[in-house]
Amino acid sequence: MAGAGAAVYSSTSSTVTVSSSAGISFFPFFPKQSKRPSNLTLIKRPSKSPNKILFFLNPKSNFKNKISKSVPLSSVIPQNLQKISGFPFSSPSFDSVAVFLASLAVSIFVAASDVGTPVAFAIANPTRKLQNDEMATVSLFKQNTPSIVYITNLAARQDAFTLDVLEVPQGSGSGFVWDSDGHIVTNYHVIRGASDLRVTLADQSTYAATVVGFDQDKDVAVLSIDIPKGKLRSIPIGVSADLLVGQKVYAIGNPFGLDHTLTTGVISGLRREISSAATGRPIQDVIQTDAAINPGNSGGPLLDSSGNLIGINTAIYSPSGASSGVGFSIPVDTVGGIVDQLVKYGKVTRPILGIKFAPDQSVEQIGLSGVLVLDAPASGPAGKAGLQSTKRDLYGRLILGDIITSVNDQKVVNGSDLYRILDQCKVGDTVTVEVLREDHKQKIKVVLEPKPDET
Q: What tens digit of pLDDT does each residue of 2-57 get?
A: 443 333 333 333 334 444 333 333 333 344 444 444 444 444 444 444 444 444 44
Domain boundary (316, 333, 348) is at 348
**For 316-336, what is the mean pLDDT?**
82
Q: Which of 224, 298, 329, 389 is catalytic?
A: 298
219 conformational bin, left if phi > 0, alpha if psi -120 to 50, beta if neither: left
Q: Do 341 and 376 lie in a common domain?
A: no
Nearest partner of 407 among 342, 326, 352, judged by Cα: 352
Q: Do 363 and 330 lie in a common domain?
A: no
Backbone angles phi, psi at 396, to 5 degrees: 85, 5
pLDDT tens figures, 154-198: 776 666 666 665 666 677 889 999 998 999 999 999 998 888 899
CA 284 to CA 287: how far, in whole Å? Answer: 9
HEC sequence for 10-69: CCCCCEEEEECCCCCCCCCCCCCCCCCCCCEEEEECCCCCCCEEEEEECCCCCCCCCCCC
Q: Which of 215, 217, 219, 304 is catalytic?
A: 219
> What does the pLDDT read at residue 63?
42
Question: What's the residue count for the chain?
Answer: 455
Q: Do 357 and 343 lie in a common domain?
A: no
Q: Do 98 and 77 lie in a common domain?
A: yes
- Asked whether residue 284 is domain-assigned, the answer is yes
Q: Do 340 and 379 lie in a common domain?
A: no
The single-letter code of the amino acid at 173 is G
The single-letter code of the amino acid at 207 is Y
Calculate the average pLDDT of the chain. Answer: 76
CA 316 to CA 47: how far, in whole Å? Answer: 68
pLDDT tens figures, 7-20: 333 333 333 444 43
CA 368 to CA 40: how far, in whole Å? Answer: 90
User: Residue 88 pLDDT more than 70?
Assistant: no
Q: Which of 19, 189, 224, 417 is catalytic?
A: 189
Q: Do 45 and 182 lie in a common domain?
A: no
pLDDT tens figures, 245-277: 999 999 998 888 788 899 999 999 999 999 888
Active site residue 298: yes
> What does the pLDDT read at residue 380?
93
Active site residue 320: no
- Asked whether residue 120 is domain-assigned, the answer is no
CA 407 to CA 42: how far, in whole Å? Answer: 91
The contacts of residue 260 (CB under 8 Å, 6+ apart) are 145, 148, 202, 252, 254
Q: Do 317 and 225 lie in a common domain?
A: yes
**For 209-213, what is the mean pLDDT?**
94
CA 357 to CA 377: how far, in whole Å? Answer: 12
- Asked whether residue 334 is domain-assigned, the answer is yes
Domain that holds residue 47: 6-111
Sign (positive or negative) of CA dihedral 364, 366, 370, 371: negative
Domain boundary (78, 111, 144) is at 111
CA atoms within 13 A on the CB side of 189: 19
Residue 187 three-state SS: coil
CA 173 to CA 367: how far, in whole Å? Answer: 44
H or E element in which residue 82 lies = none
The enclosing domain of 380 has a CATH number of 2.30.42.10
Nearest partner of 339 among 432, 245, 441, 219, judged by Cα: 219
H or E element in which residue 265 lies = strand 261-275
- Asked whether residue 411 is domain-assigned, the answer is yes
CB 303 within 8 A of CB 309: yes
Active site residue 95: no
Q: Do 226 and 325 lie in a common domain?
A: yes
The contacts of residue 153 (CB under 8 Å, 6+ apart) are 169, 170, 171, 172, 173, 190, 191, 192, 193, 194, 197
Number of domains in the chain: 3
Nearest partner of 441 among 414, 412, 421, judged by Cα: 412
Domain boundary (316, 332, 348) is at 348
CA 303 to CA 341: how far, in whole Å? Answer: 23
- Asked whether residue 123 is domain-assigned, the answer is no
The contacts of residue 158 (CB under 8 Å, 6+ apart) are 164, 165, 166
- Asked whether residue 118 is domain-assigned, the answer is no
In this structure, the strands spanning 301-303 and 351-352 are: unpaired
Q: Do 134 and 166 lie in a common domain?
A: yes
> What does the pLDDT read at residue 453?
65
The enclosing domain of 167 has a CATH number of 2.40.10.120
- Asked whether residue 227 is domain-assigned, the answer is yes
Sign (positive or negative) of CA dihedral 281, 284, 288, 293: negative
**For 202-209, what is the mean pLDDT?**
91
Nearest partner of 282 among 232, 240, 330, judged by Cα: 330
CB 316 within 8 A of CB 274: no
CB 376 within 8 A of CB 383: yes
- Asked whether residue 304 is domain-assigned, the answer is yes
Q: Do 424 and 444 lie in a common domain?
A: yes
- Which letter, b or e, does each residue of 244-271 get, where b requires 16 or more Cβ atoms within 10 Å of its Cβ? eeeebbbbbbbbeeebbbbbbbebbeee
Q: Do 289 and 372 lie in a common domain?
A: no
The single-letter code of the amino acid at 139 is S
> What does the pLDDT read at residue 216?
92
Q: Which of 221-225, 236-240, 293-297, 451-455 has the lowest mean pLDDT?
A: 451-455
Q: Do 46 and 188 lie in a common domain?
A: no
